[in-house]
Structure 1
């Protein structure tokens, strides 16, 4: 299998890997609430899944994102915008690995955050911005570059969902109620977008072979 198709398959796999990894880690964390608790709490300092969560989530997902982003760069050598989105997805992968290595503090919302918490938060911000910007760019690139209006509409819907749930997610930080749900919708929209784009590019590349 050529490298580009391997990268596209990696992109298709990301939401499946995320769901399985988070489900397994959550099952190993007694009392963990997917509805109320942040994803990062699975790898927080002092959490029962502190060591295993980044090993089955952040690190392998980071590699999958990096492979997919690199394949986009290779697939569109003459499109600066497409290559830019590939770089953003690679950056997202690096952010995932960094967020896994630098764990958040207990509860992930301390009044006096540690250096590890600060780096974790910055990594999370980079992860959010990288995929939201990339998906926003593909609203334009879908119809123009790969002649797929459906991909453009899909990219728009995923981008809007990721942005719209930001406000309730932020409001839920203090109360803690529903934060996990809003965060999963926020990140899930971007990861599903990655998978959708990867599927379109995999089919496109395979049809030329």
Structure 2
């Protein structure tokens, strides 16, 4: 049951993010997903900034941090390294931080903008740390080794599409949304595996 709770936490994070994003964009006809950053939905001068920052960043970040603990525990006995859980845990924590400090896009040197930026970039950097250190651990598990290829594919694709704004300068927002999607696909995929961990682990033991 514990694995299911951790798994549900990871599944709820992308779901809550997407639902909040769709609602916020539908309420902001002047907002362009092609040119605007996702964070601008919760910028310091946005009319509904706390709705976005709480339900788009803070709560999903907490859910990801919680999920990361169960994810690691399901295979943590096979390693002394804490890099995988440190990476994903702090990725979630820093996502929450970026919501606590709304971005000030008119004054990029302001404290709130600096902290927001640190949260955003830190979230991604710690994600890479965790996502690239997990495969070695996953390969040691009969259950988790099937997750290696999809997990690495999602991770590498975030790097590939991270270059989008530098190539397609007229619509940089699309690249950011693809990277967000791949990030949440990594979380959602591994959360789903964790949710079914006990059931499929028992089936593997019987084969």
TM-score range, shorter chain: 0.7 to 0.9
Shifted more, 51-60 versus 38-47: the winner is 51-60
Q: How far apart are 1:191 and its partner, in Å?
A: 1.2
Shifted more, 196-205 versus 147-156: the winner is 147-156
Q: 2:183 aligns with which of 170, 180, 190?
A: 190
> What 5-or-longer segments of structure 1 have no aligned partner?
none
SS of aligned partner of 2:102: coil
Asked if 1:178 is matched to 2:153, the reply is no
The equivalent residue for 1:116 is: 112
Q: 1:105 to 1:134 in 2, by over 3 A?
A: same
Q: How far apart are 1:86 and its partner, in Å?
A: 2.0
CA RMSD, 1 decimal:
2.2
1:9-48 → structure 2 map (5 Å cutoff): 9-48=8-47
Kindly indicate whether the alpha-carbon contact (under 8 Å) linking 1:132 and 1:159 is maintained by their aligned counterparts in 2.
yes
Q: 1:20 to 1:115 in 2, by over 3 A?
A: same
Q: How far apart are 1:90 and its partner, in Å?
A: 1.6
Asked if 1:203 is matched to 2:205, the reply is no
Distance 2:44 2:151 in 1: 35
> What 5-or-longer segments of structure 2 have no aligned partner?
203-207
Asked if 1:162 is matched to 2:155, the reply is no
Q: 1:82 to 1:186 in 2, by over 3 A?
A: farther
1:95-110 → structure 2 map (5 Å cutoff): 95-106=94-105, 110=107
1:23-102 → structure 2 map (5 Å cutoff): 23-80=22-79, 83-102=82-101
Question: TM-score of the superposition, structure 2-length normalised?
Answer: 0.86
Aligned length: 202
Kindly indicate whether the alpha-carbon contact (under 8 Å) linking 1:29 and 1:49 is maintained by their aligned counterparts in 2.
no
Q: How far apart are 1:128 and its partner, in Å?
A: 0.5
